[in-house]
Amino acid sequence: MSAETILTNARIVLADSVLESGTVLVRDGHIAEISEGRSQAASAIDLKGDYLLPGLIELHTDNLEKHLAPRPGVRWPGVPALLAHDAQIAAAGITTVFDAVVLGNTIGQSTRLELLDLSVEAVDQARAAGLTRADHLLHLRCEVADPIVLELFDKVSDHPLVKLVSLMDHTPGQRQFVDLAQYALYYQKKHNVSDSELQAMIVSTKANQEKYADLHRRTLAEACRERGIPTAAHDDATLAHVEESAELGITISEFPTTMEAASASRERGMTTIMGAPNVVRGGSHSGNIAAHALAEEGLLDALSSDYVPISMLHAAFKLHDQHGLTLPDAVATVSRNPARMLKLDDRGEIAAGKRADLVRVTQHQGLPLVRQVWREGDRIA
């Protein structure tokens, strides 16, 4: 894109309204002006009545892992894997992505320990070479019941791209996996372990939780406060979970599993993020609270693509089409609200002075489809 570009004949989704036929002037990577009507300039790009949305902001995705480890035992070179992930992210309309890397294990997931260094190195190298389409940052997902999670955290927590930390406890029998039968079904299918192996892992994980989880949760929360890193509680399910999170200064509730936890989080001033696939599917794959139920109660602030990058756009439009949100409010769950949660004040909405992170969206048979994507005024998809 040139230093100055005009996008016209667009339905522009603003913070609190939709400009049905408007024009956006982009200058030097930022939005310079928004106006009603069509531009007559010869250089104007005609969006033919498609929607123009702010670039999507993704706070929690493990999509990079799928490219680094495409099959059990297979490892792909870091930068090519990162760029394949990056292309998929950009094609989904995501212009800012927090690549989630896991610190610690619960059920013998040694692959994720191996991928920690590979992920960080790949992001570093690709950014340094100017190869990425989207803006890549890091989200550290800390498994508090793991004996070495503090050691792993100290290793990477001062990295300048670390902008979000979540505190997780995937010990079976609570939070996401209250139902042990559901837990067994999920992990045996995902990790191909026998009944006896699974039971041994459950016993070991529960012992580690009892020994380490509380201490590690408090230590990590304090370390994040000292570093000024926003911190999320993961899979809070009960009032006690939320009260503990609030006591630790946690500001984000990531994937609360019950209405009780989501309501209590809101009462304590926390913002809530849920999975976009949950919205698209109509419910949680783990049998927990449906994200659309929180949206209908005014308890949903943001959406994450989690494991399906394109789900963010689909979920936002579904919240508007089927669950009562205005289009600006629905789009805010994947743009303005995540930006505010992480203090990314230069992006997240179409407004003068903001970064020109923009997505052209058309609809086909009722589904939103990405047509074009710009990051800081440059076409990336």
The tokens for 129 are: 């070479």
Decide the pairing of beta strands 51-54 and 4-13: parallel
Q: Which domains does the chain have, with CATH numbers?
A: 1-55+347-381 (2.30.40.10), 56-346 (3.20.20.140)
How many C-beta neighbours within 10 Å does residue 162 have?
A: 20
List, in sequence order, the alpha helices (H) in 21-91: 63-68, 78-91
> Mapping DSSP to helix (H, G, I), strand (E, B) and coil, where does residue 11 land?
strand
The total of other beta-carbon atoms located within 10 Å of residue 70's CB is 12
In 37-175, which ranges are E strands? 45-46, 51-54, 56-61, 94-103, 135-143, 162-168
Task: Report the alpha-carbon distance of residue 234 to residue 380 in Å, rounded.
Answer: 32
Q: How far apart are CA 198 and CA 111, in angstroms?
A: 17
pLDDT of residue 201: 74
Q: Which residues contact 314 (CB under 8 A, 6 or more apart)?
A: 276, 279, 280, 367, 368
CA–CA dist 310, 325 (Å, integer): 20
164 residue type, one letter: L
Query: Residue 171: what pLDDT?
Result: 72
| CA-based torsion, 248, 250, 256, 262: positive or negative | positive
Cβ of 33: how many Cβ atoms within 10 Å?
11
pLDDT at 186: 63
3-class secondary structure, 312? helix
Residuewise pLDDT in 10s, the chain (381 residues): 458 999 999 999 999 999 999 999 999 999 999 999 999 999 999 999 999 999 999 999 999 999 999 988 899 999 999 999 999 999 999 999 999 999 987 655 567 778 999 999 999 999 999 999 999 999 999 999 999 999 999 999 999 999 999 999 877 655 556 566 666 666 655 666 667 766 777 777 778 778 898 999 999 999 999 999 999 999 899 999 999 999 999 999 999 999 999 999 999 999 999 999 999 999 886 668 999 999 999 999 999 999 999 999 999 999 999 999 999 999 999 999 999 999 999 999 999 999 999 999 999 999 999 999 999 999 999
Beta carbons of 237 and 174 less than 8 angstroms apart: yes
Q: Determine how many CB atoms are found less than 10 A away from the CB of residue 130.
A: 6
Cα dist from 34 to 4, 19, 350, 358, whole Å: 13, 10, 8, 13
Hey, what are 151's tokens?
A: 């050691």
Q: Is the Cβ–Cβ distance between 179 and 287 less than 8 Å?
A: yes
- In DSSP terms, 101 is beta-bridged to 140
Q: 139 pairs with which residues across the strands?
A: 100, 164
Helix (H, G, I), strand (E, B) or coil at 372: strand
Radius of gyration (Cα) for the chain, nearest Å?
A: 21
Estimate to the nearest angstrom the gap between the alpha carbon of 312 and the chain centroid: 9
Strand partners, 7: 24, 45
Q: Amino acid letter at 71? A: R
How far is it, in rounded angstroms, from Cα 323 to Cα 374?
29
Residues 6+ apart with CB under 8 A from 42: none
- Return the amino acid letter for 373: V
